[in-house]
Amino acid sequence: MSVNTFLWFDTEAEAAAELYAATVPNSRIVEVTRQGDGSAFIVTIELDGHAVTLMNGGPGHPQTDAASLQVIVETQAEVDALWEALTADGGKPGECGWLTDRFGVSWQIVPAALPTLLGGEPDRVIAVGTALRAMSKLDIAALRRAYDQA
């Protein structure tokens, strides 16, 4: 058995796969199944070991922020690089570390330290949560300051 993420696109599955494989470290396009006219139909990628299938299925099934791809990173440099790449060319920053890329796919760029910063004493949890809700792209140093100052 295996479980993977499946995303429906109108026509841009291959372009999305190229962006995602180039943006998320340790990622690659595994396979492209083409239609008779040469356009991509199914594109299979691995995002740092996570299997994702992208399909060009035509209109009628737009992306929604009810589902997102979550990338957990160690450093602010990783947050910044992913944020920049995924919001470029029409992507949109969201709240609390969420963004929508130019294809309409929602992402969460999350520092690995966040669960620790949101754990523990209630005053610290409230302080970090308050700081988090005021952010678009997450700032690890600011979240740590909120934790330490609570």
76 and 143 share one domain: yes
Which residue, 61, 94, 112, sits at the end of a domain?
Answer: 61
26 and 68 share one domain: no
Lowest mean pLDDT among 1-5, 91-95, 103-107, 132-136: 1-5
CA-wise closest residue to 139 among 110, 119, 115, 116:
110
107 and 77 share one domain: yes
Q: Calculate mean pLDDT across residues 62-87.
A: 97
- What pTM was estimated for this model as a whole? 0.94
For residue 4, the one-letter residue type is: N
The enclosing domain of 20 has a CATH number of: 3.10.180.10
User: How high is the mean pLDDT of the chain?
Assistant: 97
**Exposure on the CB side of residue 34, measured as CA atoms within 13 A:** 4
87 and 14 share one domain: no
- pLDDT at 120 (0 to 100): 83
Domain that holds residue 32: 1-61
In the chain, the number of structural domains is 2
- pLDDT at 88 (0 to 100): 96
Confidence of residue 80 (pLDDT cuts 50, 70, 90): very high
